[in-house]
């Protein structure tokens, strides 16, 4: 990593690529079998979703020199991602996240596997020169480790200098900050302080309802917009409840679409984000509807990446549910 991307990318997605180890429905992925290992990680999910929809996209992240890293390299090549910003780590392995699946498809992140004592490759993401792009898509998880935090903050500074808009998916996951933490724990004061500068600079912020309450004491996207100096666009998701949004001066709600079957909700929010950025030039309501369709369709298959829709599939789905 270090050279700028050859050729234009509309979006650069920076952060973790990892394995979601899905336990059997109702079981413990640490001990119960069979498990289902799926390629994931929010920025990687968004990047793959954008590529499948047809948006030029680059992925900036760090993977181990292992079978997981090779699997991602093949996936990124198949999807057509720009990968000159992808780093490989000979010392640290790619991360495996243990995902407990409830019988209704809901999931909970409960810990990690694969650490051999040196931490995970994504924690050692190094700063690098980023290309010109329309969007830099980031989450907060790189802030949980000092080296990757430096890389993330460097990317944010470069985006500001380039005039690249920052899209932030808060994506609070307490176990990344403290492996022993309760998966339902809210952000500590230190974590909130680390995350606040990203909230103060993002042009687009996507939060789950509980994240909105933790950081802003409100789940009203309009109030959140007014609470921040840059007046960002704000989208608040709430599982199967309606999405609430404030995009510039426009606001509204969008009911969640239901796919024919729900297999696994992993990656639904990331598919939503990919759909939102892909359709950004459309009218606000159309952006949100298209994003909601992408999120719904991912729930019909296992894992976050394999079920991601093409633009044609999302549009066809919208034609049926309209």
| Each residue's pLDDT tens digit, 259-314 | 877 877 778 999 999 999 999 999 999 999 999 999 999 988 877 899 999 999 99
β-strands 165-169, 241-247 pairing: unpaired
Query: In the structure, what pLDDT confidence band is assigned to residue 6 with cuts at 50, 70 and 90?
Result: very low
Q: What is the mean pLDDT of residues 223-230?
A: 98
Edge-to-edge strand ranges of the sheet holding 96-101: 36-40, 18-22, 96-101, 107-113
Poorest-confidence range of 104-108, 123-127, 226-230, 302-306? 104-108
Cβ(247)–Cβ(281) below 8 Å: no
How much is the pLDDT for 8? 55
Q: What is the DSSP letter of 28?
A: -
How much is the pLDDT for 303? 78
Poorest-confidence range of 155-159, 176-180, 230-234? 176-180
Identify the residue with better confidence: 90 or 7: 90
How much is the pLDDT for 260? 75
In the block, which residue shows the tokens 């413990």?
28
- pLDDT at 120 > cutoff 60: yes
- pLDDT at 248 > cutoff 80: yes
3-class secondary-structure state, position 58: strand
Tell me the domains of the chain and their CATH numbers: 11-237 (3.40.1190.20)
How much is the pLDDT for 7? 39
How much is the pLDDT for 105? 61
How much is the pLDDT for 197? 97
β-strands 18-22, 86-89 pairing: unpaired
Average pLDDT, the chain: 92
Q: Which helix (H) or strand (E) holds 278?
A: helix 268-278
- pLDDT at 124 > cutoff 60: yes
Cis peptide before 217 (omega within 30 of 0): no
């Amino acid at each position: 990593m270090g050279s700028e991307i050859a050729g234009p990318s509309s979006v650069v997605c920076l952060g973790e690529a990892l394995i979601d180890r899905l336990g059997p429905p109702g079981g413990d992925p640490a001990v119960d079998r069979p498990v289902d290992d799926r390629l994931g990680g929010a920025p990687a999910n968004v990047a793959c979703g954008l590529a499948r929809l047809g948006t030029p996209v680059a992925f900036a992240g760090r993977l181990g020199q292992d079978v997981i890293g090779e699997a991602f390299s093949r996936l990124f090549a198949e999807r057509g991602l720009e990968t000159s910003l992808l780093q490989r780590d000979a010392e640290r392995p790619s991360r495996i996240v243990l995902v407990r699946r409830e019988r209704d498809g809901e999931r909970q992140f409960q810990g990690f596997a694969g650490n051999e004592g040196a931490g995970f490759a994504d924690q050692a993401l190094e700063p690098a020169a980023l290309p010109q792009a329309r969007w830099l898509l980031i989450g907060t998880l790189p802030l949980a480790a000092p080296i990757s935090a430096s890389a993330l903050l460097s990317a944010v500074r470069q985006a500001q200098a380039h005039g690249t808009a920052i899209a932030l998916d808060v994506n609070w996951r307490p176990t990344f900050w403290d492996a022993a933490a309760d998966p339902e724990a809210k952000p500590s004061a230190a974590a909130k302080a680390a995350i606040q500068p990203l909230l103060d600079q993002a042009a687009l912020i996507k939060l789950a309802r509980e994240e909105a309450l933790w950081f802003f004491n409100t789940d009203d996207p309009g109030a959140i917009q007014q609470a921040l100096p840059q007046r960002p666009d704000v989208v608040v998701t709430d599982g199967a409840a309606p999405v609430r949004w404030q995009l510039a001066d426009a606001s509204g709600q969008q009911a969640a679409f239901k796919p024919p079957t729900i297999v696994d909700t992993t990656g639904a929010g990331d598919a939503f984000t990919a759909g939102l950025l892909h359709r950004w030039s459309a009218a606000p309501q159309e952006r949100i509807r298209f994003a909601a369709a992408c999120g719904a369709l991912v729930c019909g298959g296992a894992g976050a990446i394999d079920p991601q829709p093409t633009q044609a599939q999302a549009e066809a789905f919208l034609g049926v549910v309209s």
